[in-house]
């Protein structure tokens, strides 16, 4: 199975870049499922139902979020109607929306996508490790679920790495979001789970994590509040990962970075690169 995960989409520049590059991603990688983190898609803060629908129409199958999920207040009243738009799983009971969803894909196969938020340097939420563990008691690779993909939204790489090892062998992939910077540690862990500390953002990298650099720098230099931060609006780089799983086990066969457009060095996986080593060994990008 082939899965594409795209990191935090920031503002109009990020939205437009994702929509523009999706046809190439679909034509080149023929993914069974495309997941994207949309929590910064609406002006850098949150997401709206309208924006979510635009992504679905363009070919995104599922959207995850994070600490900015409620920045657009309208979402509180609409998220329950959209099973493909997730908020972090470890919000308290009674919070609108859902943190995991089971999606049917071609061939009658099923993929579980879950969105969990870390706690170090983040808002205080319920234990993310216990929350995802409870979900996995009901969904098991090879037990009616063909792949399981986790978006772990957090600040500390240590907490993200700990989650990767906690879930190693139980899920297809654990991919971090939130820092907006793609990490170089894409790997397959010993138990067969693909891992990357952060997928990076889909946004303008001539910025400070997607926001206009002038106002962001001023906040650090003067230690004074400035005008509301707004997303940088030059050409965005679409960042994410390509994950291929073993059809029998649901574990990872390869994980490769995706970087398209904008300022960063480009990286586009190729299906022409064979993977002959089997689960547990990472291949390289073409």
Catalytic site positions:
68
In whole angstroms, how far apart are CA 95 and each of 7, 31, 64, 69, 125? 24, 32, 16, 12, 12
Distance CA 127, CA 236 (A): 34
* First-last CA distance in the chain: 19
Distance CA 41, CA 51 (A): 8
Distance CA 242, CA 239 (A): 10
Smallest CA-to-CA distance from 46 within 91, 4, 87 is with 87
* Chain length of the chain: 286
The stretches of 75-185 forming alpha helices (DSSP H) are 75-78, 128-136, 157-167
Q: How would DSSP label each residue in 222-236?
A: H-S--SPP-B--SPP
């Amino acid at each position: 199975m082939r899965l594409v995960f795209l990191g935090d989409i920031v503002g109009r520049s990020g939205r437009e870049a994702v929509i523009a590059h999706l046809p190439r991603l679909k034509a080149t990688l023929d993914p069974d499922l495309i997941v994207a983190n949309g929590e910064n898609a609406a002006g850098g803060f949150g997401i709206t139902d309208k924006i979510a629908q635009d992504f679905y129409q363009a070919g995104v199958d599922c959207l995850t979020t994070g600490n900015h999920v409620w920045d657009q207040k309208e979402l509180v009243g609409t998220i329950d109607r959209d099973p493909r738009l997730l908020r972090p799983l470890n919000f308290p009971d009674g919070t609108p929306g859902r943190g995991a969803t089971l999606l049917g894909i071609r061939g009658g196969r099923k993929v579980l996508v879950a969105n969990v938020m870390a706690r170090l340097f983040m808002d205080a939420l319920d234990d993310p490790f216990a929350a995802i563990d409870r979900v996995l008691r009901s969904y098991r690779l090879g037990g009616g679920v063909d792949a399981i993909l986790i978006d772990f939204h957090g600040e500390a790489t240590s907490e993200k790495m700990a989650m990767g090892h906690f879930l190693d062998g139980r899920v297809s992939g654990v991919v971090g979001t939130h820092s907006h910077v793609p990490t170089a540690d894409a790997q397959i862990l010993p138990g067969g789970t693909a891992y990357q500390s952060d997928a990076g953002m889909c946004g303008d990298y001539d910025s400070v994590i997607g926001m206009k650099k002038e106002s962001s720098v001023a906040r650090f230099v003067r230690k004074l509040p400035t005008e509301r931060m707004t997303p940088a609006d030059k050409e965005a780089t679409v960042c994410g990962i390509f994950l291929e799983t073993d059809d029998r086990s649901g574990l990872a066969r390869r994980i490769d970075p995706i970087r398209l457009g904008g300022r960063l060095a480009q990286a586009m996986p190729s299906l022409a690169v064979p993977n002959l080593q089997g689960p547990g060994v990472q291949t390289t990008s073409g």
